[in-house]
Chains A and B, each alone.
Chain A
Amino acid sequence: MDRSLFMGGLPKTTSRRGFLRACAIATAAMGLPMEMVSKVAEAAEDPKRPRVVWLHFQECTGCSESLLRASHPDLANLILDLISLDYHETLMAAAGKQAEENLDKAVEEGNYLLVVEGGIPLKDGGIYCKIGGKTAVEILKKAAEKALAIIAIGTCAAYGGVQAAKPNPTGAVGVQDIIKDKPVINVPGCPPNPHNFLSTVLYYLTFKKLPPTDKFGRPLFAYGRKVHDHCERRPHFDEGRFAEQFGDVGHRLGFCLYKVGCKGPETYSNCPVIRFNDVEVWPVSVGNGCYGCTEPNFWDTMTPFHKRLPNVKIPGGKGIQASATEIGKAALGVTAAALAIHAGVGIAKKLATGSKSEE
């Protein structure tokens, strides 16, 4: 796909061209053939906009923030144009009682997409997260009843996130641990890439069903491949060229960040391909290893973030090339010794017989 799609940014108001561009990006992100762009665009411009209720629980609003960041206004515009956002605590004008009424009204009417941001505490009756006097779990269960489908945006909503890290004092869990009778799709990440969220929504609008997922409920088009397999520093890994610590020569030369803790070999996401903020960056491209933030319980399983993955043997010990060079030098030494012995024996024989030895 044309990189300039990501590079150029998009105009502030959604032009026809910008609209089709964003649809094309989403189509590509979903792994659909380009012939599908028109279908996706058709679904996106349907005047019957799906209603969306967006709930916030134990979270930092980073997922909403990453979606609305000014660097890609058109993407946010498109998402907000695409859907009828009936309730979103950060964005809506209403507050207090009025806001709660909006939520009650939306939930009453039903047939909406429910987007959940943030983990849900269950311990002590769920009292550690309350909105308008109701616990998070209560609100979620009520809102989920009449929802068409649920999108859990961010690692907190998907798997509990940072508050679910050991010892999980509030008993936080993800949406899928509470809601069992509705289709739940996870778009994890800390934050997740807004393109993946857009693509999930567009997939639902185009096909009227949720995209196929992996065993952790993540859409395969975005989370089907390992970060390590698409990383631009992968050749350095295969060659055994590593940054040994931050700021050293290898780090400055852009070598593999595996030894300074990159979790790319254990993490499934399309970050190296889609990248972030429309300026062609993602953690590894700016010199910091992957934290594995799209994986369940990454706060527990991927920490310490700047240490190597345990039990992962680096091929060839010191790296392929260095190891082969060492062995090559040794082999060359053995060969030289063998030739020297051969020559020595030949000369000795010649001296002993005093004549040209031929055998």
Chain B
Amino acid sequence: MAAYEKKYVWSVLLRLFHWTFAPSIFILIVTGLYIHWPWTNTWLEGSHQFTMAVMRWIHFIAGMIFTCAVIARLYLWFFGNKYEKIWDFLPITARNVKNLFSTILYYAYLTDHHEERLGHNALAGTAYFFTILLAICQFITGLYLLYPENGFFVSLGSALFGTQQEARFIHYILNWYFAWFALVHIYIVIWNDIKHPEGLISSIFDGFKFAKKEQ
């Protein structure tokens, strides 16, 4: 029986990031899909029911929180602790490249070899990296759509994404990316939590993971 010890991995700020980012994504997907297809229109809309307006309001507020969460994560890429810093999990070092491929094989049930590490594995880290990049695209297109008369957001949005309609299309497609990401993320986290005694799920609540005690 291997002995385990508690290791502090996720800082308060990272956990705050996670718990603002995750619910905001959920709310944004639900309200975003409603705004895309307001299926209750005319029978719910009334003199005291403004479903569309309320959905948009919630969507915009959740979007603001989403944006702030992304900013916090960007900060932690460079100023976080050892596990939160970008070079700990991006496949830019020999150790991480090796880990990236071994994780893919491991997740595909092609090998039983599994590298114990406290931070993100390189596959998860790469996925999170691109998710944050896409999140940046998402909030820039969102702000471009929300402030169609604001010079800053219009020049930024049109330079990066083109017309309002093109930005809306990207915004809509990315909405589905986040829905897909959330599902895969939750599945893999549960899968990992079942397979390994490191306490992956609880670590996002209290910050602690469990590592094998070095003899």
B-contacting residues of A (Cβ < 8 Å)?
225-226, 228-229, 237-238, 265-266, 309, 311-313, 315-316, 320-321, 323-324, 327-328, 331-332, 334-335, 338-339, 342-343, 346, 358-359
Contacts and interface: CB of A to CB of B under 8 A. Distances in A.
Nearest to A358: B82
A324 B60 contact: yes
Interface string B81-108: 1100000000000000000000000000
Main secondary structure of the interface of A (DSSP, over half): helix
16 contacts: A229-B45, A238-B56, A265-B46, A265-B47, A315-B53, A320-B53, A324-B60, A324-B64, A324-B146, A327-B64, A328-B61, A332-B67, A338-B13, A338-B16, A338-B72, A358-B81
Interface in B130-153: 146-147
Top 8 A-B pairs, shortest CB-CB distance: A324-B60, A328-B64, A315-B53, A335-B68, A316-B57, A265-B47, A331-B68, A315-B50
A228 B79 contact: no
A145 to B, nearest CB: 40
A226 B60 CA distance: 27
A104 B151 CA distance: 73
Given A331-B68, A335-B72, A338-B72, A228 B45 contact: yes
Contact of B65 (A229, A316, A331): A331
B53 A339 contact: no
Given A225-B42, A342-B11, A359-B8, A315 B57 contact: yes
A334 B47 contact: no
Interface of B: 8, 11-13, 16, 41-42, 45-48, 50, 52-54, 56-57, 60-61, 63-65, 67-69, 71-72, 75, 79, 81-82, 146-147
B108 to A, nearest CB: 33
Contacts of A266: 47
A359 B75 contact: no
Contacts of B64: 324, 327-328, 331-332
Contacts of A228: 45
A226 B64 CA distance: 33
Given A238-B53, A358-B82, 6 more contacts: A311-B48, A320-B56, A320-B57, A324-B57, A328-B64, A342-B75
B72 A312 contact: no
A232 to B, nearest CB: 16
Contacts of B61: 323-324, 327-328
Contact of A229 (B42, B63, B69, B146): B42
Contacts of B8: 359
A312 B57 contact: no
A359 B81 contact: yes
Contacts of B16: 338
Contacts of B81: 358-359
Contacts of A265: 46-47
B60 A342 contact: no
Contacts of A334: 68
Contacts of B57: 315-316, 320, 323-324
Contacts of B146: 321, 324
Contacts of B11: 342
A346 B79 contact: yes
Contacts of A237: 53
Contacts of A312: 47-48
A154 to B, nearest CB: 24
Contacts of A342: 11-13, 75, 79
Nearest to B41: A229
Contacts of B69: 335
Nearest to B75: A339
Contacts of B79: 342-343, 346
A313 to B, nearest CB: 7
Nearest to B54: A315
Contacts of A358: 81-82
Contacts of A324: 57, 60-61, 63-64, 146
Contacts of A313: 48
B60 A321 contact: yes
A343 B12 CA distance: 12
Contacts of A309: 47
A315 to B, nearest CB: 3
A181 B65 CA distance: 62
